[in-house]
Amino acid sequence: MNLLVIDVGTSSMRGTLFSDRGETLVTVQKKYSVIYMENGYVEQKPTDWSDALFAILHRVQEEASANGQEISAVALTSQRSSVIPVDEKGTPLANAIMWQDKRTNEICAKLQDKNEWLFARCGSRANPVFSGSKMAWIRQNKPELYRQAYKLLVIPDYLIHCMTGKFCTDHTYGSRSLLMNLKTREWDDELLAVFQIDREKLCELVPAGSVCGYTTKELQEKTGIPAGIPVVTAGGDQQCGAIGQGVVREGSLSITVGTGGFLIADVGQMPKDLKSDVICNASSIPGHYILEMSILSCSSALDWFCRTHYDNWNGDFDRVTADLKNSPAGANGCIVLPYFQGRSTPDWNNDAKAFFANMTLNTSRADMLRALLEGICFEIANHIGTMEKYVTISRVQVNGGLTNNVLFNGMQADIYGRKLTRMGNSESTSLGAFFVAAAALGLYESVEQAFETVCGQQMEETYLPDESKKEIYRKLRDEMKEIYTKIYA
């Protein structure tokens, strides 16, 4: 049995055909881009995703057939909180409001006095990232669009409908909506009332790993992919990415440093003493929960810095590496608060801005660059400390685009003061979705067994902390916290 995994990222969609042993048979990628607008608005055309999906399915089917291979099932994992209003046929009625979008700041600010109440039900404070606040914005600011919408979908819901004609979403996406009761895993009437969302506008909720439907004849005509094969929802991209990195048991932590930064730890069941300084979400592993913390700007912040400070920037990170070597640990005292799109966990400060501190006439471009990356790591270190109030972290795995840089990985180990490992396979999200779907379809007894079978003998890069830098980084991290407190107390 060969499983095709569709991985919907922020900048591209990737299709990977895996054998039942987790071997990569075919890979196809299609790129696209979001639309950045004034006032923090971020949108994207839904046809970017449907066109990319159809093109990937067509190409994978062609290559598989040429190699004498079959596609036995499709699994889908996706970015989680972007909202698309559609009509009864699943046709988009407007651009998607993207997860990075900030137009719901005012809505979330008005709910601050309900934060503890909200957290107790849905595992998060009110925040502009989650889909429920975006749905509320549509109702309040585009009432005619809200009325016309048959469903308010997130991206995976839309693509599942493109493949199966069914409207379906899973618990991982529900737990990123502010509308699902985390304990019952059902849409919550009281939460729906707070955000004024009608239940019929939402999809049916199912566990991650569920078969949401089967490919249609219409899809076969468009792409050549056979009709009647199961389509499995594997859960959100961060949940699957963590599983692909080995977060399959309590105490394991995945740190993904990509466009944004995400920390995910498996806690099995919900901690009883849980506070609202973290996010608690449904895991893609049946019955499990995860703790999650995030940073809104990582490689996006680095990309901004390089575009504005390097002539003819083309993404050549060898130039960045050379500069990093020219600035010592601690960046000669320069400190960066990396809140280019506000601060998410632990306090969801949408007003926070990026801030370069301790600049002098001797501060170099290399110092600013290193301080930016160190600032990102300081924030991640803060998040690790918060998570350890609820779970003992025994294993830390790093991944994401920035971890392709060896110097950055060493910096992470030094600042976190921990041994870090990085797996050789960079496509952990697709692998995680494969593990979830393979277990759901009976190829393996569990997600953990799927991971151990496929990745148990895989080589890992290891990074150990340099104790001589510990005090330097401790002082700068404390100073960063002090600066933030003085500005936003």
Output DSSP code: residue 258: S
HSE-up (13 A, CA, CB side) for residue 210: 15
Asked which of 107-116, 192-201, 264-273, 311-320 is least confident by mean pLDDT, the reply is 311-320
pLDDT in tens, 206-230: 999 999 999 999 999 999 999 999 9
Does the structure show a pLDDT above 90 at 194? yes
Cα–Cα–Cα angle for 182, 159, 70, rounded to 5 degrees: 110
Phi, psi of 48, deg, nearest 5: -55, -40
Note the residue count of the chain: 489
**Which stretches does DSSP call E strand in 19-86?**
24-31, 35-36, 42-44, 73-78, 83-86
Confidence class for position 424, pLDDT limits 50, 70, 90: low
Domains of the chain with CATH codes: 3-236 (3.30.420.40), 245-423+459-489 (3.30.420.40)
Q: Which residues contact 388 (CB under 8 A, 6 or more apart)?
A: none
Residue 221: alpha-carbon gap to chain centroid: 32
Q: Read out DSSP for 125-149? A: ---SSSHHHHHHHHHHH-HHHHHH-
Q: What is the pTM assigned to this prediction?
A: 0.88
Asked which of 104-108, 131-135, 396-400 is least confident by mean pLDDT, the reply is 396-400
| 8 Å CB contact between 306 and 149 | no
Output DSSP code: residue 342: B
What integer pLDDT is reported at residue 350 of this predicted model? 83
Asked which of 197-201, 282-286, 396-400 is least confident by mean pLDDT, the reply is 396-400
> What is the average pLDDT across 410-435?
91
Confidence class for position 426, pLDDT limits 50, 70, 90: low
pLDDT in tens, 445-466: 999 999 999 987 777 899 999 9
Residues forming beta bridges with residue 336, ordered by sequence position: 356
191 closest CA partner among 208, 205, 211: 205
445-448 long-range contacts (CB < 8 A, ≥24 apart) are 447/243, 447/248, 447/284, 447/285, 448/248, 448/249, 448/285
Asked which of 23-32, 49-58, 394-403, 444-453 is least confident by mean pLDDT, the reply is 394-403
What integer pLDDT is reported at residue 258 of this predicted model? 85
3-state percent helix, strand, coil for the chain, nearest multiple of 5 = 40, 25, 35
> What is the average pLDDT across 162-172?
98
What integer pLDDT is reported at residue 52 of this predicted model? 98
Q: How far apart are CA 130 and CA 111, in angstroms?
A: 14
137 closest CA partner among 167, 96, 188: 96
Cα–Cα–Cα angle for 446, 451, 455, rounded to 5 degrees: 160
Buried b (16+ CB within 10 A) or exposed e, 71-96: bbbbbbbbbbbbbbbbeeebebbbbb
Pure H helices in 356-398: 365-387
Q: State the distance between the two ends of the chain, measured CA to CA, in whole angstroms.
A: 56
Q: How far apart are CA 35 and CA 45, in angstroms?
A: 8
Q: pLDDT averaged over the chain?
A: 95
